[in-house]
Each structure stands twice: as C-alpha cells, then as structure tokens.
Structure 1
C-alpha cells in the first residue's frame, strides 16, 4: 500500500549580525535551527520568512536576497523550504512565539555553529559559510 505525501512549504531566515547567526532552539530538543516555518495561505515565501523571524525571535527583518530552495522528504511530508538572507531592521530578542515551540533564541558565532547540534545537519556547512571565522 503506497502512502501519499503531504506537501509542506516553508521559509527560513539566515540572519547575520556582527559575524553571528540568529538561531533558535525548540522546546524539548538540544538542536538548533534558523528561524523558519510554514507558509500560510495567501502568503508569499518572503512574507512567511519575515513573519516567522518576528514570531520566533522578536526581530523585524528585511530580505536581502533569495538564497536557495531545499526539497526533501521528512516522514510523510514532501518539504520545500525557501531560504533567504535577511538583515535586522529593528527589535530585540523577545519570546512571543504564538506556537509556543521556541525555548531559546541566541546569536551564534562560527565556533558555536561548528560545534552545536543542528535541526537540519545538511544545512550546517551552508550556515557556517555566512559567518566569518575570527
């Protein structure tokens, strides 16, 4: 019996400030990822990216450029995630995630990124490429 995959489209923000990358850690996990989430009905990938950063971190960002699109299958989901390079416009770290899934928000250095557990290990090298070694 074949199972039908559920389509899931999302957006992710690679946000760098002072050679550090904005990362979030979800509740009940030790791994980290960039702010990201599902694109809602009527929303563009860019709008979803900006909203997710605000919801998950408290920062308002603007998109500098579209980076790449990752397609993968996770469980029963056919996942497409649009990655954007973002710049902080305003705000500060604030916990007001409506989904209540974020445990910790932090700016990570190159060395910290290299040693921490990633939600999506396949993204590690790409993320490291955005942060300069000091």
Structure 2
C-alpha cells in the first residue's frame, strides 16, 4: 500500500494571556485544518513542517521540543495519508496566505478552533497540542 506523507505545524500565539491557534481553509476542498504539506527529497519531518507553514502562511515558526503527533486516513483515491504534526509559534505578526492553496485563515481560541476544524482527527490533534501547552503553563 502506498503511503503519502505530509508534515505540518499547529501554530499558536499568546494574546493577552490567551492561546490562539492558526486555522487555514483549503482552497481545494474548503476544509479547515492546520498548515501542512508533502515532504520533499532529503527533508526531515521538522524541515518539511516549517517549510510548509512558511509557504502557506508566510510565518517562520519555532518548534517546541517534545510534541509530535501523527494521524492517518484514507484519501478518496485509496491512498493512505500519514500526517505528522509539530507545535510551534512565530514572533511574526503578519500572515500572508498562499492564495493558490489557502482560501482564508483565522486565529482562534481553543474552543472556537475545535468547532471550526473539519475533521475529528484534527480536533484530536488540537486537543493533544492544547494539553501539551497546558502542561507547560501556557494556558
């Protein structure tokens, strides 16, 4: 079975003592999720994740150590998709979306983000990221 692998980042920021997460809406299918994309030759998972966030949002992110989450699902064409997520933040304030792939973006608090995400596996990854940040006293 062919497995297609992508990597991404759950991007967060602290706004007046609240954590906000970055959601992006795919232009291809209208689904809300996190910035992610395909691995390229000789890239590590972390390199792919950071590159994809930069390409899709214009943000350079710093990844936090100790968080790596994986989800797997089937695509419509029968290909198995594996996505590895990291968590990270950026000191940059301006998001500049990649117009040919991303329709729009939003910064949202955890509860609103959980409502907006299109898939249950994304909601589970968000919960894991939120719990991880809570352990670090970010919430």
Q: What interval of TM-score do these two structures reach, taking the shorter chain for normalisation?
A: 0.7 to 0.9
CA distance in 1, matches of 2:107, 2:121: 20
- For the pair 1:122 / 2:121, whether they are aligned, the reply is yes
Question: 5+ residue gaps in structure 1?
Answer: none
TM-score (norm 2): 0.77
Does structure 2 retain, via aligned residues, the 8 Å contact 1:38–1:48?
yes
2:3 aligned partner: 7
2:68 aligned partner: 67
CA distance in 1, matches of 2:72, 2:27: 25
How many residue pairs were aligned?
126
Does structure 1 retain, via aligned residues, the 8 Å contact 2:6–2:83?
yes
CA distance in 2, matches of 1:117, 1:40: 26
TM-score (norm 1): 0.80
1:11-90 maps to which residues of 2 (within 5 A)? 11-18=7-14, 19-27=19-27, 29-65=29-65, 66-75=67-76, 76-90=78-92
- Considering fraction of residues, name the structure with more strand: 1
Question: 5+ residue gaps in structure 2?
Answer: none
Does structure 2 retain, via aligned residues, the 8 Å contact 1:113–1:128?
no
- Considering fraction of residues, name the structure with more helix: 2
Does structure 2 retain, via aligned residues, the 8 Å contact 1:53–1:59?
yes
